[in-house]
Amino acid sequence: MVIAAPLPQPREEIRSAEAVEPRRRGTWPWLWPSVLTLGLTSHGLTVPLLSRDELVTWDVVNRDTGQILATVQNVDAVHGTYYLLMHLWVSLFGDSVISLRLPSVCAVAGAASVTSLIGNRLFGRRAGIVAGTLFALVPAVSRYGQEARSYALVILMVALATLLLLRALDNPRSPWRWAAYVLTLTGVGLLHLIALSVVLAHACVLAAHARHDRSVWWKSGLTLLAVAACVAPLTLLGRSQAHRQLYWVPEPDVWALSSIWPDVFASAVCSGALIALACLARSPRKAPVLLCAAWAVLPSVVVWLASHGDVSYWRQVYILFTLPAWALLAGAGLAATFHSRRATAALLAALAVLTLPDQKRMREPFEHNVPVPLDYAAAADIVTRYHQPGDAIVYDRQDTWKLDSGVQYYLPRDLKLRDVFLVKTPTAINDLYAIQCPVPELCLKSAQRIWLMAQGAGPDPFDSIAPDQASALRTRYRASMSASVTGMTVTLLVRKERS
């Protein structure tokens, strides 16, 4: 009698053997990291005042679709997709602080789920849960999960694209899986071009898989070509605007490659702990560790190298999408080193306690306005309490800290004040900044009272505005009252009596 030998299992370069069996128990491990991230990020959601960038979001998304498209032709093209998505969101749910920030909250919660699912595939069920939990505990996740900008969505889309790549390599013959990967990776590029540097990590895995399945070469080649074709117009437009938007970013030195990580994690303690745990990551196969290590490290190296040309892109927010990779490596390292569930839980609890001061800092009122804290809400409250019908207003527009948008956001919507020196709004010229009156004396008209919003707390509020505007106001107005709030001075100017 001949006994047939069992057929060998297909080679799996991406999934470790220990990850196969746990997946059959169900995919519920994604739930707990998601719930934890949602709870942490929602806590204190409305406490930090809107940042300058969030005020730009609020301004742009309240324009109609045609105006948004016209604006991104001039500036901020790389955020155009996010603005269009948020325009639809705001039209449905309004522009309160909660509404503006809620998509980011949901995005990081989704990213925690995807991180856990990737970890489950690559390193096993326990490592996946730990990775998702570690991701939730990173203070930067709470910080940018509470900001009305695209960064949280970018983190989610990069993680999702990585998961879909693994699914495509599970069954390379499925065109639908490759199509899903193409669409998601295109979404990454449309949300933020720099995040496409994750393709370098994906290429490492594709090359490893292609050694055993040559069809992966041409399939992945077509996939990446399709993505490149979709984002090429945005790349050209964004490149033409880069200097205007990033002229202030300094060129990084060699030390910057290592010193940036406490800023990426928004915590020196958290960055040190996760990087140390990441060094302990191991797997029966090389591909899982290779993928996560390349995802964690290569994008920052590429951005650092690219920042030594005409424009520097070296900002920590541009490499936040590497956080899931660090969490995956750290989760794998923790799960492989500490086999006891109690020990694992104790270490996670210790990390949560150690990063608690950073978590609290993320929720301080002016955290989103670092390094220049500006209390727009307090300034608006003063005007609201003491304004009279017919009052006008003047904003210090010499700097780019959006005093006008900040105060306007926190003023009651039915309180309308004539902007004395405003000639054309940013919406009217499809830009982010207004055009002011070239001859201030001619724009004063007959306002009896003018509120002056100036940055800083100097003894003379006129010193904070343009000299020609200050001269015109000094001639006809005197200061009736003045109040200092954090980063700003609110002064009520009353027209001088004619002698």
Residue with tokens 């003379």: 460
Same domain? For 363 and 382 the reply is: no
Decide if 1 is inside a domain.
no
Q: pLDDT category, 210, cuts 50, 70, 90?
A: confident
Contact 471, 462 (CB under 8 A): no
- Whether the per-residue pLDDT at 3 is higher than 60: the answer is no
Of all residues in the chain, what percent carry a pLDDT higher than 70? 94
- Whether the per-residue pLDDT at 400 is higher than 80: the answer is no
Q: What would the mean pLDDT of 439-468 be, rounded to a whole number?
A: 89
Decide if 82 is inside a domain.
yes
Same domain? For 452 and 358 the reply is: no
Q: pLDDT category, 499, cuts 50, 70, 90?
A: low
The whole-number pLDDT of residue 166 equals 96
**Stretch (H or E) spanning 419:** strand 418-419
Same domain? For 362 and 407 the reply is: no
Same domain? For 391 and 266 the reply is: no
What total number of domains does the chain contain?
A: 2
- Whether the per-residue pLDDT at 92 is higher than 50: the answer is yes
Same domain? For 360 and 476 the reply is: no
Decide if 9 is inside a domain.
no
Pairing of strands 418-419, 435-436: unpaired
d(CA 261, CA 314): 12
Q: What would the mean pLDDT of 238-263 be, rounded to a whole number?
A: 94
Q: What would the mean pLDDT of 146-172 be, rounded to a whole number?
A: 97
- Structural domain span for residue 433: 376-495
The whole-number pLDDT of residue 214 equals 86
- Whether the per-residue pLDDT at 153 is higher than 50: the answer is yes
d(CA 452, CA 366): 22
d(CA 430, CA 259): 38
Decide if 300 is inside a domain.
yes
Same domain? For 259 and 387 the reply is: no
Q: pLDDT category, 384, cuts 50, 70, 90?
A: very high
d(CA 413, CA 58): 14
Beta strands (DSSP E) in 139-278 are: none
d(CA 244, CA 76): 9
pTM assigned to the model: 0.93
Q: What would the mean pLDDT of 273-292 be, rounded to a whole number?
A: 93
Same domain? For 294 and 438 the reply is: no
Of all residues in the chain, what percent carry a pLDDT higher than 90? 82
Q: What would the mean pLDDT of 172-183 be, rounded to a whole number?
A: 95
Dump pLDDT digits (tens) for 356-375. 999 999 999 999 998 889 99
Same domain? For 307 and 433 the reply is: no
Decide if 5 is inside a domain.
no
Q: Which of these three, 369, 384, 416, is where a domain ends?
A: 369
Decide if 10 is inside a domain.
no
Q: Measured over all CA atoms, what is the biggest interatomic distance in the chain, rounded to whole angstroms? A: 122
Same domain? For 426 and 410 the reply is: yes
* Across 171-180, 266-275, 332-341, 457-466, least confident range: 457-466
Same domain? For 380 and 362 the reply is: no
Q: For 373-393, give one letter per residue: b (16+ CB within 10 A) or e.
A: bbbbbbbbebbeeebeeebbb
Dihedral (C-alpha) 492, 497, 498, 499: value to the nearest 10 degrees? -130
